[in-house]
Amino acid sequence: MGINDLLTLITALLIAWSCSLLGCFLVLRKAVMVGDAISHSVLPGIVIAYLVSSNFNSVFMLIGAAFFGVFTTVIIDFFHKKLKLQEDASIGITFTWLFALGVILIALFTDGNADLDQDCVLFGELGTTFLDKVIYNGRLFGTRSMLMILPVFILVVLFVVVGFKGLQILSFHEEFAKSKGINVNFWHYSFMALVSITTVMSFESVGAVLVVGLLVIPPATSYLLVERLIPMLWLSCLVSTISSLLGYFASIYFDVSISSMIVVTSGAIFILVIIYTKLKIAFRKKIVNL
C-alpha cells in the first residue's frame, strides 16, 4: 500500500468516524431522516458562501452550512409541531425545496465557472483526494480534504465527550431533560449545526448521499448488537472502520467508486448482523422450548 492509498484511507476513516459518532444520536432520537434532509438542504448555504467569498476553504462555508442546517431543523419543527403536519411530510417538503433552491442558485450565479455542481455535492470521489497534497518545507502534511475534515472530527469528539450527559438524556428522555431544566433547544440545534458542518466538509470526498449512508448504517448496525450508548459509539466506529477498509480494497479490485463501495460494504455488514440477531433469537427460543 503506497502513500496515496494511505492518505485516501485516512480521509475516509476521519469522515466515517465523524459520521458514525453523530449518527448514533440520530438513530436513538429517530431523527435519521432529519440528517438526510440536512445533507441536502445545506446546498444553498454552500452556494451563498461561495458567492460571498469566492473560496471553498473560507469560514463562510462553515457558517453557511451551519446556518442552513439549523434553518432546516427549525422549518421541520415548525411544520411538524406548529402546523401539525406529519414529520415525514415536513422533512420531505423542506429538504427538496431547499435543495432545489441550491440547484437554481448554482445555475443562475456560478455561470459554470465555479468548481461546484450537483454531482459534486451528491457523489464526491475519494479516489482523487490524494492529488491535492499539502506540502510545506518539503514535508507532506496530508491532503487538503484530510486537513479539512480533521478539525471537524476533533470537534465532533470534543462535543460528544463534553456534552455526553446532555446528549444522552436528550436522546432517551427529552421530556425528563426539560423537567430538569436542561436547555433542550441549545443541545438540539447545536447538534444539528455540527451535523451540517460535518456534512458539508465531507462533500468533496464522499458527497451528500453517501454521507447519509455513513450517518445511518454503522450506528444502526451497532444499535442491533448493544444496549448501552458508550458501547454503541465504539462499535459504530468499529463498523465504519471495517467498512472503510474492506470497501476501499474491494473498490480497487472491482475498479469502482471507493465511497460507494464503502457504503455497500457497510450495508452488507448490516445485513449479516440482522441474520446473526435473528438466528440468535431463534436459537434462544429453541433452547427455552427444550
Mean per-residue pLDDT of the chain: 84
Length, in residues, of the chain:
290
C-alpha cell of 113?
465557472
Give the pLDDT confidence of 1-38 residue by residue, as tens digits: 688 889 889 999 999 999 999 999 999 988 888 877 88
pLDDT band at 199 (very low <50, low <70, confident <90, very high): confident
Report how far residue 174's alpha carbon sits from residue 167's, in angstroms, rounded to the nearest whole number.
10
First and final C-alpha spacing in the chain:
52
For 172, residues 6+ apart whose C-beta sits below 8 A from its C-beta are: 28
Residues sharing a CB contact under 8 Å with residue 135, sequence separation 6 or more, in sequence order: 141
Per-residue pLDDT reduced to its tens digit, 28-44 = 988 888 877 887 788 88
Range scoring the smallest mean pLDDT among 21-35, 42-56, 141-155 = 42-56
pLDDT digits (tens, 9 = 90+) for 226-285: 989 999 999 999 999 999 999 999 999 998 888 889 989 999 999 999 999 998 888 887
Q: Which residues of 281-290 are buried (b: 16+ CB within 10 A; e: fewer)?
A: eeeeeeeeee
Total-model pTM: 0.88
Backbone φ and ψ for 243, nearest 5 degrees, come out as -60, -40
- Per-residue model confidence as pLDDT tens digits over 61-101: 778 877 888 888 889 888 988 888 988 898 889 988 988 88
How many Å is the maximal CA-CA distance in the chain? 72
Residue 135, φ and ψ in degrees, nearest 5: -120, 130
Write down the domain spans for the chain: 3-207
Residue 136 is inside which H or E element, if any?
strand 133-136
Q: Using an 8 Å Cβ cutoff, are 36 and 100 in contact? A: no
CATH architecture of 3-207: Orthogonal Bundle (1.10)
Phi, psi (5° rounding) for residue 143? -110, 165
Q: Residue ranges of the alpha helices (H) in 110-183?
A: 118-122, 144-162, 164-172, 174-179
Q: Is the pLDDT confidence value at 60 over 90?
A: no
* CA atoms within 13 A of residue 92's CA, in its CB half-sphere: 5
More confident: 117 or 21: 21
Q: Which residues of 231-262 are buried (b: 16+ CB within 10 A; e: fewer)?
A: ebbebbbebbbbbbbbbbbbbeeeeebbbbbb
